[in-house]
A and B are shown apart, each in its own frame.
Chain A
Amino acid sequence: MYLGKTIEELHELLVNKMVTPFELTKEAIDALKKDTTNAIETICEKEALDFAKTLVDPEFDNLLWGIPYICKDNFSTKGILTTGSSNILKDYVPVFDATVIKKLKEKKAVLICKSTLDELAMGGSGMTGHKGITYNPYDSSHTYRIGGSSCGSASLCAQGIAPLALGSDTGDSVRKPATFSGLVGLKPTWGRISRFGLFPFAPSLDHVGYFTRSVKDSAFVLEVLAGSDIEHDATSSPREVEKYYSLVNGSIKGKKIAYIKEINKGIRDQVIKDRFDYCLDLLRKNGAIVEEVSLDRNLLASLYPVYMIISCAEATSNNANLDGIKFGPRIGGETSYQEVMMKARTAGFGELIKRRFVIGSYSLLRENQSVLFERAQKVRHLLVNKVNDILKEYDAFIAPCSGRIKSEFVENSDNVTDEIDIDKMIIENHLGIANFAGLPSISIPVGIDNGFPFDFNITGRAFEEVNVFNIAYVLENELNLKNLSVIKGER
């Protein structure tokens, strides 16, 4: 029984030949077949077992050798169905591998499964994929969300089926579900990991991210995935990749950490509040200087609408290729190309997506652009500047990932009611700051309440992932919450 182990633990077993990659893969695939959270698009059983069989000589300095992993179904995988959890791509088999898939293959990690997502990574509820709701494995009553859009990856990683699950993060799509599933969720600096092969939602905000169950695992994976990809992604950074794994040592002495008053105001659970204070004390105990800072409440409150305008505008353009001619089902349309496109897109996209396309198109229209799209860009810059001002003085800032430990399913996560609770809007959307500014950001388990885990988030300066890892590492060690999974249950 090897489920529920970290990459580091599995590596020890693999190189000592206590288990083979094939056995590990087999066990993981058997576990996938028992999933009850509706987290799976495709199990890559044959491909995974065939590949695992070829792995016989252990690689001692390669932690990923023979490690099974899961991939959100919006990464292009050559020869393997990739749906984006959307009907418009339900039969799409890509002809090339995403750069991250290629890199993991080179490291001999074994792709075992493509996981569900909110349709085309839009929406944060885990409810909008074409296969229906993905559930939270910590909640057998199916009352509370796991969040999204990387819902399937979060669920399967939290079930201990694999120690690594790729996701993507445009607003908080890795770091938010990480809190509801008690995982380590990382989104590095924009440009740190190549996005080639990741289905675009909103490229200026899109990041490759992933779930692990320990900070050290996360650091090692970044070492593998990071790096420039000049032939495929012009936004990938040419900066040298640091040795994150060996640089993560828990040294945070003298580091300055901020927390933002206006974000914390939205905390609506005493357990979170207490835990937050407790964590700040732990950080101080380890030599960090922790201080409260303030950030314009109106700016923070504008984050969600600004996010909606920018992401929807980019999304409507990015998905214009799915038109029933090259991609998508041919529903019919004998009279004109317009008819072909309309029929395919009407049948192929879900309601939330269509709504977002309308919002995006509307904000880009000539008569609206200056008051909606351009204004949103300006506000984005204002907010980014304010955050970067804070980061001039502080190495990172820490915040709760959500104001609540559990989040119930609601009909449509995009709906905004007439009564807007500003504090709630801020705390439930502030993770998007790291997307606006392209900053490295990690969610890390900090507590379990009545069987439900929850995370805090640490965001640092661009390309200073090491700081972020180290702060997270301190909390992981102090709190003894490493490697949470459903199998182990409460600790």
Chain B
Amino acid sequence: MNFEAVIGIEIHVEMKTKSKMFSSSPIAFGKEANTLVQPLDIAFPGTMPIVNKQAVINAIRVSHALNMEIDHELWFDRKNYFYSDLPKGFQITQDKRPIGKNGYVDVKLSDGSVKRVEIERLHMEEDTCKQLHMADYTLLDYNRAGTPLIEIVSRPNIRSGEEAMRYVEAIKSIVVFSDVSDGKMEEGSLRCDVNVSIRPCGSEKFGTKVEVKNLNSTANVQKAIDFEIKRQTKLLLSGIPVEQETRRFDEMKRETVLMRKKTDSVDYKYFTEPNIVPIRLSNEFVENAIRTCPELANEKLVRYINFGLSEEEATQMLQNRALSGYFEHCLSINVKRAKLYWNWIMGEILGYLNKNAIDISKLKVTPDNLDHLIEMLEKQDLSSNQAKIVFEKMTIDNKDASKIVDELGLKQNSNEDEIRALVDEVIAEFPQSVIDYKAGKDRAVGFLVGQIMKKTKGKVNPAVTSKIIIENLKTK
């Protein structure tokens, strides 16, 4: 029997707004526990939520990028439950009227086909506090409590691990390029819960779904789903029903493991948040939020291709927002060098960053200085090997490329008159090479270039030199 997988994904995105969803408390990572808190964040009696405007702008931008209908009236609801990490005893979310609904995103698969993943809803809510479980007690850090979240819920029309992975990558790209979030799965600023079930091909009925949590990379999303599909298929083929449960992905074992059996679903007793009167969003506000959204990856892609990159090259650059930001800086200096910048960023720069395990924000070389280096290369003042040496020096303190060239005495001599004199000199010194050349031994040219390099300690332009040598030999 053939089975078809039915996959739905819920993604939580932590927004990087300056302050929290409903309080003026600042947001930052890695600060001392419980230092970024306002009375509201710990649910002091009498505190009330004030909606963060930037969070709303962010939600509009992502909704728009996901082709969603945007609700022009903001409604919030309370989701009521008791839990140790939940300050108020309820979470403020958008249950009945999410800000975005009925959207989609198109993702490209490895076989070249395009999959349209349908998205049911996008809503805003607030994060809980962070728990640190010790041996016999638990510590609570309220710094995270109230951090604005966007939750994006797909429809269950995803069919494979690859589709799921591409979908998560697409969401990640949108939230990162729109400046809404860091989108770091490994740090939890983009969290993803996957529901997987399988059913016989052609069946309309859904199978029993299993929720998989703890997916800290897009690759693991694919691996976990692929594993889960295999596991469930095996069960069904052996006549064992799939049980409704929550599992997590174990990275070491590369398989999903049981966390807990699902019991009856919790009744969250939703009702409209009475402390926020519905907020009317003007067309102008919504349009402005969309218009001022930072350029997204798919828009950049078109531009990069116009600048002469291939689709693969452009896509590769857009995998990393920071790298592409650096690339954008370079482009603003001289668009015509797009391909050269790409080569340098994807080659030397990425190599350097990887070697030193740093990200591009730590790179000392400015785009201007890089451009300067590339310019010298273009003018053939430097050989590409020399340029690499210069670049290495530039990474230390961004010293001007031409200064480094001077200091190292690297500048290539491309002056044809001077080189002609040198050529005359070495041909006179090595008459045998003329004979060799005439006898058809082309390597005589290389030999002569080598001699001139030796004399000048490599400061002549080898291409120019070899051209003049050939001209000279031909006249003999």
- Count of A-B residue pairs with CB < 8 Å: 101
Q: How far is the CA of A326 from the CA of B42 in the complex (A)?
A: 7
Is A33 close to B, CB under 8 A? no
Interface residues of B in 263-312 (CB under 8 A from A): 267, 269-271, 274-277
Partner of B275, one of A234, A321, A322: A234
Q: Which B residues are CB-close (under 8 A) to A84?
A: 45
Could you tell me if B46 and A98 are in contact, using CB atoms closer than 8 angstroms?
yes
Answer whether A234 and B45 are a contact pair too, CB < 8 Å, given A361-B269, A365-B269: no
Is A388 close to B, CB under 8 A? no
Could you tell me if A234 and B51 are in contact, using CB atoms closer than 8 angstroms?
yes
Interface residues as binary, B63-77 with A (CB distance below 8 Å gives 1, 0 otherwise): 000000000000000
Q: How far is the CA of A21 from the CA of B138 in the complex (A)?
A: 50
Partner of A321, one of B24, B87, B140: B87
Answer whether A232 and B50 are a contact pair too, CB < 8 Å, given A84-B45, A337-B83, A364-B271: yes
Is A27 close to B, CB under 8 A? no
Partner of A235, one of B45, B47, B277: B277
Could you tell me if A89 and B45 are in contact, using CB atoms closer than 8 angstroms?
yes
Interface residues as binary, A353-372 with B (CB distance below 8 Å gives 1, 0 otherwise): 00000000100111001000
Is B78 close to A, CB under 8 A? yes
Answer whether A366 and B275 are a contact pair too, CB < 8 Å, given A76-B45, A200-B45: no
* Chain A nearest Cβ from B91, distance in angstroms: 11
Could you tell me if B82 and A96 are in contact, using CB atoms closer than 8 angstroms?
no
Could you tell me if A320 and B45 are in contact, using CB atoms closer than 8 angstroms?
no
Interface residues as binary, B10-52 with A (CB distance below 8 Å gives 1, 0 otherwise): 0000000000000010000000000000010011111111110
* Chain B nearest Cβ from A202, distance in angstroms: 7
User: Whose C-beta in chain A lies nearest to the C-beta of B85?
Assistant: A337
Could you tell me if A232 and B45 are in contact, using CB atoms closer than 8 angstroms?
no
Q: How far is the CA of A341 from the CA of B90 in the complex (A)?
A: 14
Is A132 close to B, CB under 8 A? no
* Chain A nearest Cβ from B254, distance in angstroms: 33
Interface residues as binary, A212-256 with B (CB distance below 8 Å gives 1, 0 otherwise): 000000000000000000111111000000000000000000000
Q: Which A residues are CB-close (under 8 A) to B269?
A: 317, 361, 364-366, 369
Q: How far is the CA of A197 from the CA of B39 in the complex (A)?
A: 10
Give the interface size class of chain B.
Answer: 20 to 34
Answer whether A232 and B48 are a contact pair too, CB < 8 Å, given A317-B80, A338-B82: yes
Could you tell me if B267 and A234 are in contact, using CB atoms closer than 8 angstroms?
no
Answer whether A320 and B80 are a contact pair too, CB < 8 Å, given A202-B274, A364-B271: yes
Is A325 close to B, CB under 8 A? yes
Could you tell me if B46 and A198 are in contact, using CB atoms closer than 8 angstroms?
yes
Interface residues of B in 378-423 (CB under 8 A from A): none
Q: How far is the CA of A232 from the CA of B267 in the complex (A)?
A: 30
Is B459 close to A, CB under 8 A? no
Could you tell me if A317 and B271 are in contact, using CB atoms closer than 8 angstroms?
yes
Is B241 close to A, CB under 8 A? no
Q: Which B residues are CB-close (under 8 A) to A231?
A: 24, 50
Could you tell me if A196 and B44 are in contact, using CB atoms closer than 8 angstroms?
no
Answer whether A320 and B90 are a contact pair too, CB < 8 Å, given A76-B45, A234-B50, A365-B267: yes
* Chain A nearest Cβ from B39, distance in angstroms: 6
Q: How far is the CA of A169 from the CA of B45 in the complex (A)?
A: 17
Is A384 close to B, CB under 8 A? no
Is B321 close to A, CB under 8 A? no
Answer whether A234 and B48 are a contact pair too, CB < 8 Å, given A202-B274, A320-B80, A366-B267: yes
Interface residues as binary, B82-109 with A (CB distance below 8 Å gives 1, 0 otherwise): 1110011110000000000000000000
* Chain A nearest Cβ from B335, distance in angstroms: 46
* Chain B nearest Cβ from A368, distance in angstroms: 10
Q: How far is the CA of A330 from the CA of B50 in the complex (A)?
A: 31
Could you tell me if B274 and A204 are in contact, using CB atoms closer than 8 angstroms?
yes
Q: Which B residues are CB-close (under 8 A) to A75?
A: 46
Is A207 close to B, CB under 8 A? no
Interface residues as binary, B156-179 with A (CB distance below 8 Å gives 1, 0 otherwise): 000000000000000000000000
Could you tell me if B46 and A200 are in contact, using CB atoms closer than 8 angstroms?
yes
Is A195 close to B, CB under 8 A? yes
Q: Which B residues are CB-close (under 8 A) to A338?
A: 82
Q: Which A residues are CB-close (under 8 A) to B24?
A: 231
User: Whose C-beta in chain A lies nearest to the C-beta of B138?
Assistant: A337
Could you tell me if B277 and A234 are in contact, using CB atoms closer than 8 angstroms?
yes
* Chain B nearest Cβ from A75, distance in angstroms: 7
Q: How far is the CA of A336 from the CA of B78 in the complex (A)?
A: 25
Could you tell me if B43 and A321 are in contact, using CB atoms closer than 8 angstroms?
yes
Q: List 21 A-B contacts (CB under 8 A).
A: A76-B45, A94-B46, A95-B39, A196-B46, A197-B46, A198-B46, A199-B46, A200-B46, A204-B274, A231-B24, A233-B48, A234-B51, A313-B271, A319-B89, A320-B89, A321-B45, A322-B45, A325-B140, A361-B269, A364-B270, A365-B269
8 additional A-B residue pairs with CB within 8 Å, beyond A82-B45, A92-B45, A321-B87: A76-B44, A233-B275, A321-B45, A325-B84, A337-B83, A337-B138, A364-B269, A365-B267
Interface of B toward A, CB cutoff 8 Å: 24, 39, 42-51, 78, 80, 82-84, 87-90, 138, 140, 267, 269-271, 274-277
Interface of A toward B, CB cutoff 8 Å: 75-76, 82, 84, 89, 92, 94-96, 98, 195-200, 202-204, 230-235, 313-314, 316-317, 319-323, 325-327, 337-338, 341, 361, 364-366, 369, 373
